[in-house]
Amino acid sequence: MSNEKYDVLLEGVAEGRDAVQVKSAFAQLFKLDVDKVERIFQAKQVVLKAGVDLDTAVKYIARLASIGVIVSKREAKAASTIPVATQPPAMIFTSAGRKNEGVHRTPFKFTGKGFEYFKIWIVNILLNIVTLGIYSAWAKVRNKQYFYGNTLLDGVSFEYTASPLKILKGRIIAVVFYIAYSVAVKLSPVVAAIMGLSLFLLIPWVVVNSLRFNARHSSYRNINFRFAGSIGGAVKAFIGWPLLGLLSLGLLLPFSWKKQTSYITSNHLYGGSPFTFDVSVKAYYKLLLILIGGVLLFGGTVVIYFKMASGLIIGKPSPTIMIPAAIAYVAFYLSVGAYYMVSKTNIHYNNTQLAPHRFESNWKTGSYAMLLLTNTLGILLTLGLFIPFAKVRTAAYKAAHTTLVVTGDLAGFVAVEQEMSGSLGEGVHDIFDIDIGL
């Protein structure tokens, strides 16, 4: 283990955060009065903690970032330059489990079985039919609990703790709104247009509350995830940037992809530690250019094929000339669809970090396309009965190709979050529960 020591430096308030709220949280965290906090933030080169090891310095940075304070580290100097009168009390970090072991890979693992989940799935469908859809809220919870409970990291599974009644309440309100909109379409186009516009404007609110609801009811080692995104941020990510992408004829679409991924990821926290996402938009432009190239190549090939086929056929064209074109379309759909999903996933996870730990994703277009092909054939040949098996196979693939690259001690990191999580409670006032993909 390295003997290098570091000073933890206060840089200021993070961009976009309310300075008053950040300073208030800082004061509560360090148990300081307002005047002293103001002096600390106005001073230059404030050392919050001197001579700590790398693991402790990283924990300071992650913890303070969660309340909106920018903190950096530097190699420790012989003596701290911070005046004793303004130096805040030490934050206590404890460690549990094994000692810092440097950087090591901790892969995800999915242990679910197809037939095991099939029994849950078929019961859910039957009960939904019998209860006219009322059981759908309980079905959703059972499905999520199965997949969370069978997804393991470092030998420990995730948990989903949402109440079906809260989900049911949201769905009832959604159904009532849908019925009202359907009636309005027939009675008054003006009212229908107003309701449609209202629904469009509510999208950011729905997104934020959905992400907040699902994060709050997802946990790992008894520590809940959190979502701290604002409705204003959702408006920019899910309305503003997509509109710009549309108005620019797709030229700004990569910025839309990046902004949406960044908004969702960077506003999630595990306990008090925020996830971060940082990548150049060039990665998304590369994805877009390859997709465009694939579409042009496929379209050109089909045009050339039909011209050649029509020139060779004398008399009435044969339907058999459509068979190669249909096969080519399926191959194109699978390859381009797989490439899109694989590329976006790899960009996302390979540029996501949680405090000192980072994620690593190695999805492959070929293997994922084969997964899509076999799942699709299985569902078609069994008239849908293969759906639960397809979901299990997909979950297993995702877990097998995703890894958490741990820096230091994962058990110690979790222990710190457990100590801090007691002061991070948030109110529960959700109405809608609508799945938004992460």
The structural domains of the chain, with segments of one domain joined by +, span 1-74
Average the pLDDT over 400-421 and give the result: 76
Give the side-chain half-sphere CA count within 13 A for 266: 18
Q: How many CA atoms lie within 13 A of 307 on its CB side?
A: 6
Q: Is the pLDDT of residue 88 over 50?
A: no
Q: Which of these, 288, 155, 140, lies nearest to 214 by C-alpha position?
A: 140
Q: Round to whole Å and give the CA distance between 80 and 136.
A: 60
Could you tell me the pLDDT band of residue 310, with boundaries at 50, 70 and 90? low
In this prediction the pTM is: 0.70
Q: Are 324 and 382 in contact (CB under 8 A)?
A: no
Q: What is the pLDDT of residue 72?
A: 82
Handedness of CA 42, 43, 47, 49 (dihedral sign): negative
Identify the band that residue 69 occupies on the pLDDT scale cut at 50, 70 and 90.
confident
pLDDT at 364: 95
Residue 55, SS3 per DSSP: helix
* Average predicted confidence (pLDDT) for the chain: 81
Per-residue CA distances from 71 to 34, 82, 371, 418 (Å): 19, 15, 44, 22
User: Is the CATH number 3.40.1190.20 carried by domain 1-74?
Assistant: no
Q: Which residue in 345, 360, 362 sits closest to 437, CA to CA?
A: 345
Rounded CA-CA distance 402/361 in Å is 5
At residue 102, the pLDDT reads 66
390 or 188, which is more confident: 390
Which residues make beta-bridge pairs with 152?
109, 157
